[in-house]
């Protein structure tokens, strides 16, 4: 099976889940979010960090990771946090949500870059995309957009990640450019995964299921 297509399956799966639950808020989405955040963060530490720090000067790697964090903060001014799990619904806004769409696409495109056949990053992106796809699809339906707008939005959003992967794996880029982009993606992943984990714990209350989800995610990422 071609791993590069996994992120597309995540969006399709999210869409199917929303259809099956008939737009009702998906139960346990917070648990799924917590799991996905912890899983993405662990894979970033286990797989991406060593790769980037092996090829880049330490301080330079750190600088580009910070650039990634800042870039994601910047993107979220426009997406309002859709990459990490919340979109605000404006009932019956018939205009296409261009800002959310474009910032989500830039994010999705970049997160395709560190995916290779020889690493497991694709699983992190796959799991991270499922709850996001659920939330975005729910938002699109509840906002009353037309069906073709919703399909176009999801379709383009879905192909952005494989597009990034194909470019990073097949296009002859300037030597070192790929490692720099991967460092930026580390920053993006760190920002969204910490935000997901932070926002999934309401008022820092102890929640056994959430803790178990997080520990399981770390363990799976470690042994994968
Ligand atoms: Zn947020
Ligand atoms: Zn993402």
DSSP letters, 9-59, are HHHHHHHHHHHHTTTSPPTTHHHHHHHHHHHHHHHIIIIIHHHHHHHS-HH
> pTM, whole model, 2 decimals?
0.92
pLDDT at 94: 67
Q: What is the dihedral of CA 207, 111, 71, 81, to 10 degrees?
A: -40
Ligand nearest to the CA of 76: 1
Of the listed ligands, the closest to the CA of 77 is 1
Q: Which helix (H) or strand (E) holds 167?
A: helix 147-170
- CA 115 to chain centroid: 13
DSSP-assigned letters across all residues of 90-104: -TT--S--HHHHHHH
Cα gap 133→9, rounded to integer Å = 10
| pLDDT, position 56 | 92
**Out of 52-61, 88-97, 111-120, 166-175, least confident range:** 88-97
Q: What is the pLDDT of residue 85?
A: 81
The residue among 118 and 46 whose pLDDT is bigger is 46
Cα of 38 from ligand 2 centre, angstroms: 13
Tell how far the Cα of 49 is from the centroid of ligand 2, in angstroms.
17
């Amino acid at each position: 099976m071609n791993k590069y297509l996994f992120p597309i399956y995540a969006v399709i799966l999210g869409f199917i889940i929303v259809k099956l639950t008939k737009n009702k808020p998906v139960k346990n989405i917070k648990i799924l979010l917590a799991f996905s955040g912890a899983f993405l963060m662990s894979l970033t530490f286990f797989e991406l960090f060593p790769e980037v720090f092996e090829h880049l000067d330490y301080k330079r790697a750190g600088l580009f990771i910070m650039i990634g964090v800042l870039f994601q903060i910047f993107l979220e001014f426009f997406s309002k946090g859709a990459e990490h799990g919340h979109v605000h619904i404006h009932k019956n806004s018939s205009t296409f949500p261009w800002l959310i769409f474009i910032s989500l696409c830039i994010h999705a495109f970049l997160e395709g870059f560190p995916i290779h056949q020889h690493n497991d990053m694709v699983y992190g992106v796959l799991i991270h995309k499922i709850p996001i796809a659920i939330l975005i699809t729910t938002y699109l339906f509840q906002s009353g957009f037309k069906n073709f707008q919703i399909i176009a939005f999801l379709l383009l959003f879905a192909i952005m990640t494989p597009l990034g992967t194909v470019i990073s794996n097949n296009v002859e880029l300037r030597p070192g450019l790929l490692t720099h982009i991967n460092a930026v993606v580390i920053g993006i992943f760190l920002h969204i995964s910490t935000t997901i984990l932070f926002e999934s714990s309401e008022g820092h209350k102890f929640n056994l299921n959430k803790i178990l989800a997080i520990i399981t995610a770390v363990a799976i990422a470690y042994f994968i």
